[in-house]
Amino acid sequence: MKKIFVVLALFFSVHTYAQYEQDVRSADAIVKALYDVISGPTNKARDWDRFRFLFGKDAHMMTAVPHKDSGTIIRTITPEQYIQRNGTRLQEIGFVEKELHRITETHGAVTHLFSTYQSDLTVNGNPQQVRGINSIQLFNDGKRFYVVSVFWDGDSKKPIDKKYLGQ
């Protein structure tokens, strides 16, 4: 009985993730999927299995945030913690993030992207627009890409240099 359960669990996990294979075939595809999976209008559930599939083992998400006592600090979370902290909130605020411009560098299995984004959201009934830059590191094992880390500055008031806007 135990063997049947394991086989069924493997079948369903492979079957479930097979629908996301196109998301990890290239750097372009995985970045598009990353923005797409966290975006949506108010009350639209996000596909968190798709989100999980994009990340490699031991992946991290980091944000530099202002701190009242020590200037700027880094907060690090796992993709799973991101889901736990933001899953409901993203639905509540109608969060839609899109890429505006990208600078990509690749060497061997490592790809680094500076991805300039714009986020549209609603907070307390007020529409807001925020811009920033995601520093995204990818790993390519020869079969697919994995997100290794996403690092961004949480201070949206900082101006973005024109070279990161494609100007």
Q: Return the closest-CA partner of residue 33 out of 138, 142, 128.
A: 138
Q: What is the radius of gyration, based on Cα positions, of the chain?
A: 17
pLDDT tens digits for range 89-133: 998 898 999 999 999 999 999 999 999 999 999 888 889 999 999
**pLDDT number for residue 8:** 45
* Candidates 3.10.450.50, 3.40.50.12280, 3.30.1510.10, 3.40.50.2000; CATH matching 23-164: 3.10.450.50
Provide the strand spans (E) within the chain. Answer: 55-67, 71-77, 96-107, 110-123, 126-140, 145-153
Which amino acid would we find at residue 20? Answer: Y
Domain ranges of the chain: 23-164
At 115 the three-state DSSP class reads strand
116 contacts 136 by C-beta, under 8 angstroms: no
Which two tokens mark 63? 């944000």
Q: Using the CB atoms, write b or e for 16-53: b if 16+ within 10 Å.
A: eeeebeebbeebebbbebbbbbbbbeeeeebbbebbeb
Sign for the CA dihedral angle at 31, 101, 149, 39 comes to negative
- The maximal CA–CA distance of the chain, rounded, in angstroms, is 62
pLDDT tens digits for range 59-85: 999 999 888 888 889 999 999 999 999
**pLDDT number for residue 10:** 46
Residue 3: pLDDT over 80: no
pLDDT tens digits for range 9-56: 444 444 567 899 999 999 999 999 999 999 999 889 999 999 999 999
User: Model pTM?
Assistant: 0.86
At 126 the three-state DSSP class reads strand
